A and B are shown apart, each in its own frame.
Chain A
Amino acid sequence: MSESSPLSGGPARPALRHPSRRALLRGSSGAALALAAGAALSACGSSSGGGQGGDAATGKVTVWSWTTAATALRSVVPAFEKAHPDITVDVVDVGNPAIWDKITVGLASGGQGLADVLHIGCDYLPGYLEKFPGGLADLSALGADRYKGAFASGLWPVVSGKNGHVYAMPWEVNPLGFYYRKDLFDRAGIDPTAYRTWDDVIASAGRFRHANPGCYLIGIDKSATTAPDCDFLQSLMQLQGAFYFDLQGRVTLGSPQAVKALTVIKELNDAGLVGDASGDHGWSNLVKADKVAVSPLPAWAAHYLETEFPKQKGQWRLTRPPAVTPGGKRAAIVNSTHLAVAASSKRRRAAFAFVEFALTRPDSMNRMFRAGGVFPALTAAYSDPMYAQPDPYYGGQPVLRTFTGLLGEGADATNYSGDYARALKLASDAQVKMFLKGGDPATVLHSAAQQLAQQSGRRIA
């Protein structure tokens, strides 16, 4: 969930009760959309998609972003304005989740009032492309295609529309990591770096539990009391190159990969390795009480663990996540955020010039990483020495290096689609059925997939 990344800054991170506040986010943006859609509809289709912009290459470019990401973007503005004296840039920190309301309302009203450059998460981008066709500028027309190979693999399909044209440029990427408590594993005489698959993890359950009574491997809000807790399930699917939807937008919630992912969780649970992180701060409380040995979280968590659990300094380590199937991929991109240009912008060329300057130059990207903690999608940025620096919180391990290594392996693209919120809810229901009622993974996922297809009008792959 991009909103629980460092980009979402202060408000979202402490509430990372484990997964997402996405329901909330969707809720608020939807409320705004209700107003906007009502207005747009009653105005008899005044919303033609906002293609009335212009291609001016000069003028004042306004950028909408949020918290630390906005700070990061501001750090490249002076250099950009120096290189492009006839363009000025104003970065506005709209805040998260407020930014989703503002973008949704703007798109629904045909692009009125939108900024020129918009910062959009991977979970909102496909929805905007599907529901407001023509709302975002076609960046291929502005020459974006030449950067196709410049970003971590798996990101280009995310920013591309159905017609193959590009509608946003990748900025932040969050590869999945396997953070583990070295002290707890040492006690059991287990070396997690030797794990090849999640089955290996399950096989070591007995030893782990014997050495650490009352301690779990991971924490999940089993009954989804505060919000869907599907991050781990999603990650296990993403490790197999799968998700709720395939790249064509067909439903794959009942696919063998999805069933395998939920089966892994069921087996971990049956082995007594899943702690119940229900209630507010359930997950944080488990971690604080030294009851969670593994956090399968993406790159942004490196900083998050350090600030949330300072007492556990030196006890955490990071390694590559085990594969789901023998010989399978061990790299997954959990989420990403991007910069898009509004189609209604009067100066799309100027806007794209700024996006290009900020996102395709290693110097800009690393300056932003330092200023706002936004893990760069641009692979050329990884040669900077900062990625090899040891981190004392992780026992001197250079954690960033692990992530750049993972991105080098190449991860598959994820299609969140415009029905992600619906899919998330149904997947969460299926997982809750498995936890609370002992539901069989294949059965619960197949019926969830059917419901998803019925509700979204999509076909099952």
Chain B
Amino acid sequence: MTFTAARGASAVPRRPRPGTARRHALPYLLLAPALITFAVFKAYPILDSLRISFTTGTGSASHDAGWANYRRMLHDPLFWTALRNTGEILAVQVPLMLGLALLLALGINSALVRMRAVWRLGVFMPAVTGLVATGVMFSFLLNTDQGALNWVLHSIGLPKVDWLGQPFWARIAVVLVLTWHYTGYNAVIYLAGLQGIPRDLHEAAMVDGAGPLRRFWSVTLPSLRPILLFTVVLSTIGTLQLFDEPYVLTQGGPDNATLTVSMYLYQNAFHYFDFGYASAIAYGLTVLVVLLGAVQMRLMGERE
């Protein structure tokens, strides 16, 4: 009420109309279930894990640890191994996947292709495949002795590859599975982007004598920039949180070659009962995700 009075628009003090309070309360009442659920199941755990990240020990033996968990993280070789693995997978897998997705989208979008709906469905299918099914399927495909992939390699005269038993190949295997799983998802996003580019732009470029490649570089790609940014940021965040695929496929091995930050976090919490340290890793990861996201927005969004 002081607010309206201060405006001084009218000398007559406004009497609160009947039912105002109830009318103000109503939206909050309607929002309450969602807000309470959010507070209990999201906000509270997030804040509480910040508190836990400054403690050590579990159960009845938990006590304050100050910054010890964060200091420990900086000096923990396994954490750095996990971070490096995650970074390497990110650097290889995301460009590969997004490049492939763009090619697929261009292909499906082409007027020359028939039965586009079928292709679109086919491309998107892996994204809806369950994680466990994916893991089981690929462990069959990648099996050293009986796997289909090695059978193919063998039949064209190439040596067998110990996909899950050798550090280098295990990483390739994870990249393979990730690419299989998420390329179609990104392709569908690109496809939507491509279809949103006005036809006249292409037609105008054609009139100006631009060939298909030129049109791609000068019309398609710039028009897709916001979509590209969206997928890059999303894939980066997704990869930084990578857990499921290496967990199902390699358990982080061999020799921690596919250990990711999330998996290390999980191990500390649920294998070693070290919730304090796991929470510290979670917050370390969060800071990293925010930083990387911001950098990408800067780099790619700037020239808008």
Contact = CB atoms under 8 A, between A and B. Distances in A.
A108 B59 CA distance: 5
8 smallest beta-carbon distances between A and B, as pairs: A30-B270, A223-B254, A223-B165, A47-B60, A26-B271, A432-B255, A131-B59, A421-B271
B273 A33 contact: yes
A23 interface: yes
B220 interface: no
Q: How large is the interface on B (under 10, 10 to 19, 20 to 34, 35 or more residues)?
A: 35 or more
A132 B60 contact: yes
Nearest to A108: B59
B148 to A, nearest CB: 14
Nearest to A227: B251
Contacts of B165: 222-223, 225, 276, 278, 436
Interface in A173-189: none
Interface stretch (A37-45, A115-123, A236-244, A350-358): A37-45
A225 B162 CA distance: 11
B3 interface: no
Interface string B109-139: 0000000000000000000000000000001
Nearest to B68: A457
Nearest to A130: B61
Interface string B61-77: 11000000000100111
Contacts of B60: 40, 45, 47-49, 108, 110, 131-135
B260 interface: no
A362 B167 CA distance: 52
Contact of A23 (B57, B167, B271): B271
Contacts of A225: 164-165, 250-251, 253-254
Given A132-B59, A224-B253, A436-B254, A42 B48 contact: yes
Interface string A37-68: 11011100101110000000000000000000
Interface in B243-261: 250-251, 253-256
B292 interface: no
A42 B53 CA distance: 14
A49 B60 CA distance: 7
B296 interface: no
Interface of A: 23, 26-27, 30-31, 33-34, 36-38, 40-42, 45, 47-49, 107-108, 110, 127, 130-135, 222-227, 276, 278-280, 418-419, 421-422, 425, 429, 432-433, 436-437, 451, 454-455, 457
Given A278-B144, A422-B272, A131 B58 contact: yes
Which of A26, A30, A127 is the most central at the interface, judged by chain B CB atoms within 10 Å of its CB? A30
Nearest to A285: B145
Given A34-B270, A47-B59, A429 B164 contact: no
A37 B59 contact: yes
Considering residues A23, A226, A436, which has the most beta carbons from chain B within 10 angstroms of its beta carbon? Answer: A436
B269 interface: yes
A136 to B, nearest CB: 13
**Chain A CB within 10 Å, residue with most, of B144, B164, B255:** B255
Contact of A30 (B78, B139, B253, B273): B273
A82 B290 CA distance: 68
A23 B250 CA distance: 13
B37 interface: no
A121 to B, nearest CB: 16
B166 interface: yes
Contact of B255 (A30, A49, A107, A436): A436
Given A30-B273, A38-B45, A226-B251, 20 more contacts: A23-B271, A30-B270, A36-B59, A37-B62, A41-B52, A48-B60, A110-B60, A127-B273, A130-B61, A223-B162, A225-B250, A225-B253, A421-B272, A422-B272, A425-B267, A425-B271, A432-B253, A432-B254, A436-B166, A451-B76
A422 B271 contact: yes
Contacts of A134: 60
A113 to B, nearest CB: 15
Given A41-B62, A454-B72, A34 B164 contact: no
Given A41-B52, A108-B59, A34 B254 contact: no
Nearest to A280: B139
Contact of A34 (B57, B62, B78, B269): B269
B143 interface: yes
A433 B255 contact: yes
Contacts of B182: none
A387 to B, nearest CB: 38
B169 to A, nearest CB: 10
B108 to A, nearest CB: 37
Contacts of B250: 225
Given A226-B251, A227-B251, A33 B58 contact: yes
A42 to B, nearest CB: 7
Interface string B205-245: 00000000000000000000000000000000000000000
6 contacts: A23-B251, A37-B62, A131-B273, A223-B162, A276-B165, A278-B165
Contacts of B270: 26-27, 30-31, 33-34
Q: Which of B61, B75, B139, B250 has the most CB of A within 10 A?
A: B61
B54 interface: no
Contacts of B143: 279
Contact of A451 (B57, B59, B78): B78
A132 B62 CA distance: 10
A221 to B, nearest CB: 9
Nearest to B55: A41
B49 to A, nearest CB: 9
Interface in B12-63: 45, 48, 52, 56-62
A30 B254 contact: no
Contacts of B77: 451
A131 B251 contact: no
Contacts of B57: 131
B185 interface: no
A107 B273 CA distance: 14
Contact of B271 (A30, A41, A130, A436): A30
